[in-house]
Amino acid sequence: MTAFRPVLFALALLLFCGSPLPVLAASPETKEVVVYNWSEYIPQDVLDDFTKETGIKVVYSTFESNEAMYAKVKLLRGRDYDVVVPSTYFVELLREEKLIQPLDLSRISNFSNLDPSLLNQDYDPGNAYSIPYMCGIMGLAYNTKYIKPGTLTSWKDLLNPELKGKIILTDDLRDAFGLALLAQGHSVNSVDPAEIRQASEFLTRLKASVRVFDVTAIKQALISEEVWTGPIWNGDYLVAREENPDLAFLFPKEGGIPWVDSFVLTSGAANVENAYAFINYMLRPEVALRCMEEFKYTSPNLAAVNLLPPDLRQNPILLPGPEERTQAEYIGSIGKALDVYEKYWEQIKTLR
Amino acid sequence: MATNHSSRDSLFRTFSIAGSWLWLGLFALLPTVVLLLVAFLDRGEVGFFIPSLTLDNFRELFGPVFLSVLGDSLRLALLSTLVCLLVAYPFAYALAKANPRRRPWLLLLVIIPFWTNSLIRTYALILMIGAQGMVNKLGLALGLIDVPLEILYTDFAVFAGMTYTFLPFMILPLYASMEKLDPSLADAAKDLGAGALRTFWHITLPLTLPGVVAGCILVFLPSLGCFYIPEILGGATNMLLGTFIKNQFLVAKNWPLGAASSSVLTLFLVLLAVLYRFTSRRVAANMPLRASRNEE
């Protein structure tokens, strides 16, 4: 019996502690906004300035992939976080699952700063749920020390045997399949089983040449010349080039893969008022400019783009011309076909 | 006075044991049980799982994908454990035999790396073994190599990273069991004419066996389930068990399969815990009278 005494005690303690906890957690009225964003995306001093100006504390945490973000938001049933920054097709998914709420655009006065050509897209008609924060295009970076300019023009050129063991490939399933589908002349959103199979065969062949899979540290591997080439977001490339001037960049002839990351408001947001204040602050031209200059992604904020120094404004990689932008297709929701992608991806990743 | 003292003692005892029960129950037992339950559920269309019972997830563990992942992980974990043991055993022995005044300092040197996050230490390894890392720069400067060696993003890098990270987990339990070693036993063996090798084989090794088993468990299990070292140093080109489980939860959204595959880790844990109990009991039973009286 004495052996059980500690167990009973533990249970009693649990009951005792369990009851008042929720009350304690909900009590203090603090002015804060809980933001869940990609890593390396908003400079810390921008967040600090927001708090200084409004008195709203920013509770900031980061993710490395849309999938991880989605799993967490879903697990919390849209609560706890206020503002999240998903990519295009995840805006669709979060909306379908009612994890985000419709926005009142009249409360976001700086919305008019945004580039109209990036608004009202298929993934969120009328921007009812999402406000673009940053955008860009995935192209191909390569090191001119090892690869002569002009050798690479197409995604298919990655299969070139001379590049064996010298490639870094994105670990993002949709991006990897996207470039494989483009290489085969298909849509990045293909749901045709035969086309998906073709793309997976392309990736299987490509895997033999891949030295490393990564998402967030792609630029480091290129800077340190661990690898010679690989798909990379244009903003990441511009940051990498500052550290290694031998790096060059191109949009493959089949087109790059464009993306947009947008602010959304979770369905269970506890600080709606503060979240609107935060989004509106981030859309100010001078704030958007600071974010753009720090991380070299393209801001959809036209007012901010106009404030750029002339050399950056004429940079065709930071601000690609209309031909790259119209040719490219956003990655969208593909419904059940995603299971097929995942199955193939798992096979490719476990392949020896 | 005496009864008062002992009742206060027993109250303290009840409290502290209750505390550990609470802790282990809430943060170890409960999650493991819940995870095991999820492994028997079906994959949901919208939710992470749906409440319909199935054995499909365990069936999938016998498919070629999981078996090859498990095989690779086991091989790597066993190799890391073996190398850790071979390095740590003489190290711990020297530590236990060191001058008692110097010993705390030597122990401190083993423990200090613990105070730095292992993720940071893993990233630091990139600076050592990368194409422009110290090893390659030194090799190039000395003319030993013409082109940088490809060390980073290979199986060897993963193995080296794991061995480096988990080595202290082997040293510390070994040191603990060697420190308890009664030197008079070795002296007695020598007096009776046993050579150094024989003394080691018949006295030192059997008595430090619980330390060996504990160290092996503490290195083997984390290296079997570790996901960040293979991802950072291995370039995620060969999927290992930890990454596989993580992907089921985060990428494939197949929680039941993730739960089933992590139950494999739990199974290894249980098996090894039984092994540990078995060896420490055997050692206690075979121990000479004087040593076992010290244990009591």
Domain chopping of chain B, boundaries = 58-295
Residue A60: left (phi > 0), alpha (psi -120 to 50), or beta? beta
Q: How far apart are the first and last CA of chain A?
A: 56
Q: Does pLDDT of A17 surpass 80?
A: no
Whether chain B has a CB inside 8 Å of the CB on A347: the answer is: yes
Q: How far apart are the first and last CA of chain B?
A: 27
Helix/strand number for chain A, H first, E second: 15, 9
Q: What burial class does residue A348 get, using C-beta atoms within 10 Å of its C-beta: 0-12 exposed, 13-18 middle, 19+ buried? A: buried
From the list A221, A258, A235, A250, the residue with the least C-alpha distance to A152 is: A250
> Parallel, antiparallel, or unpaired: how do β-strands A130-143 and A229-233 relate?
antiparallel
From the list A122, A64, A36, the residue with the least C-alpha distance to A331 is: A122
Distance CA B148, CA A225 (A): 10
| CB contact (8 A) between residue B150 and residue A13 | no
On whether both A144 and A220 belong to a single domain, the answer is yes
B68 min Cα distance to partner chain A (Å) = 8
Q: Which residues contact B109 (CB under 8 A, 6 or more apart)?
A: none
Residue in A67, A207, A352 closest to B250 by CB? A67
**What is chain B's Cα-based Rg?**
24
User: What residue in B sits closest to A338 (Cα-Cα)?
Assistant: B252
Chain center to CA of A255: 19
| CB contact (8 A) between residue B253 and residue A67 | yes
Say if CB B155 and CB B76 are below 8 A apart.
Answer: yes
According to the model, what pLDDT value does residue A329 have? 85
- A239 assigned to some structural domain: yes
Q: How confident is the model at residue A23 (pLDDT cuts 50, 70, 90)?
A: very low
Say if CB A127 and CB A120 are below 8 A apart.
Answer: yes
Q: Which residues contact A210 (CB under 8 A, 6 or more apart)?
A: A167, A168, A169, B237
Q: How confident is the model at residue A22 (pLDDT cuts 50, 70, 90)?
A: very low
pLDDT in tens, B47-93: 778 888 888 889 989 988 899 899 999 999 999 999 999 999 999 99
Q: Which residues contact A50 (CB under 8 A, 6 or more apart)?
A: A56, A58, A278, A281
User: What residue in B sits closest to A73 (Cα-Cα)?
Assistant: B250
| CB contact (8 A) between residue B239 and residue A6 | no
Whether chain B has a CB inside 8 Å of the CB on A224: the answer is: yes
According to the model, what pLDDT value does residue B183 have? 85
Q: What burial class does residue A180 get, using C-beta atoms within 10 Å of its C-beta: 0-12 exposed, 13-18 middle, 19+ buried? A: buried
According to the model, what pLDDT value does residue B7 have? 73
- Please give, one letter per residue, the 3-state secondary structure of A258-289: EEEEEEEEECCCCCHHHHHHHHHHHCCHHHHH
Say if CB A106 and CB A272 are below 8 A apart.
Answer: no
According to the model, what pLDDT value does residue B180 have? 86
- A1 assigned to some structural domain: no
**Whole-number Cα distances in Å, B28 to B20, B110, B264:** 11, 28, 16
Whether chain B has a CB inside 8 Å of the CB on A214: the answer is: yes
Chain center to CA of A28: 33
**Whole-number Cα distances in Å, B64 to A26, B68, B155, B213, B257:** 49, 6, 21, 31, 14
According to the model, what pLDDT value does residue A216 have? 78
Q: Which residues contact A313 (CB under 8 A, 6 or more apart)?
A: A305, A306, A319
| CB contact (8 A) between residue A71 and residue B253 | yes
- A52 assigned to some structural domain: yes
SS3 A76: coil
ipTM attached to this prediction: 0.79
Chain A residues lying within 8 Å of B68, measured CB to CB: 350, 352
Whether chain A has a CB inside 8 Å of the CB on B65: the answer is: yes
Mutation target for A interface from B16, B22, B43: give the one with most A CBs within 10 A.
B22
Say if CB B211 and CB B171 are below 8 A apart.
Answer: no
Q: Does pLDDT of A20 surpass 70?
A: no
Average pLDDT score, chain B:
88
Please give the tally of structural domains in chain A: 2
Task: Retrieve residue A216's tokens.
Answer: 């967030």
- A336 assigned to some structural domain: yes
B50 min Cα distance to partner chain A (Å) = 14
Whether chain A has a CB inside 8 Å of the CB on B258: the answer is: no
Distance CA B80, CA B220 (A): 8
On whether both A266 and A126 belong to a single domain, the answer is yes
pLDDT in tens, A210-257: 999 988 789 999 999 999 999 999 999 999 999 999 999 999 999 999
Distance CA A288, CA A50 (A): 13
According to the model, what pLDDT value does residue B139 have? 93
Tell me, what DSSP letter sits at residue A87?
Answer: B
pLDDT, mean of residues A275-290: 97
Cβ atoms within 10 A of the Cβ of A16, count?
A: 9
According to the model, what pLDDT value does residue A111 have? 96
Q: How confident is the model at residue A3 (pLDDT cuts 50, 70, 90)?
A: low
Please state which of the four CATH numbers 3.40.50.620, 1.10.3720.10, 3.30.1600.10, 3.10.180.10 is assigned to the domain occupying B58-295.
Answer: 1.10.3720.10
Residue in A6, A173, A350 closest to B69 by CB? A350
Distance CA A278, CA A272 (A): 10
> Parallel, antiparallel, or unpaired: how do β-strands A257-265 and A130-143 relate?
antiparallel
Whether chain A has a CB inside 8 Å of the CB on B7: the answer is: no
According to the model, what pLDDT value does residue A21 have? 44
Residue linked to tokens 């591997």: A221
pLDDT in tens, B120-148: 999 999 999 998 899 999 999 999 999 88
pLDDT in tens, A71-110: 999 989 999 999 999 999 999 999 999 999 999 999 999 9
Mutation target for A interface from B251, B253, B261: give the one with most A CBs within 10 A.
B251
Amino acid at the residue A74:
K
On whether both A213 and A346 belong to a single domain, the answer is yes
pLDDT, mean of residues B214-235: 93
On whether both A172 and A199 belong to a single domain, the answer is yes
Chains A, B: CB contacts within 8 A come to 80
User: What residue in B sits closest to A339 (Cα-Cα)?
Assistant: B252
CATH number for position A345? 3.40.190.10
Cβ atoms within 10 A of the Cβ of A303, count?
A: 18
According to the model, what pLDDT value does residue B280 have? 83
According to the model, what pLDDT value does residue B1 have? 46
Chain A residues lying within 8 Å of B26, measured CB to CB: 14
Say if CB A97 and CB A49 are below 8 A apart.
Answer: no
According to the model, what pLDDT value does residue B294 have? 46
According to the model, what pLDDT value does residue B48 have? 76
Amino acid at the residue A322:
P
On whether both A204 and A342 belong to a single domain, the answer is yes
On whether both A130 and A142 belong to a single domain, the answer is no
From the list B230, B161, B226, B246, the residue with the least C-alpha distance to A64 is: B246
On whether both A73 and A218 belong to a single domain, the answer is no
Q: Does pLDDT of A328 surpass 80?
A: no
Instruction: Please tell me the pTM assigned to this model.
Output: 0.83
Tell me, what DSSP letter sits at residue B120?
Answer: H
Domain that holds residue A295: 29-135+260-319
Q: Does pLDDT of B44 surpass 80?
A: no
According to the model, what pLDDT value does residue A12 have? 61
pLDDT, mean of residues A174-180: 96
Say which residue, B73 or B183, is predicted with more confidence. B73
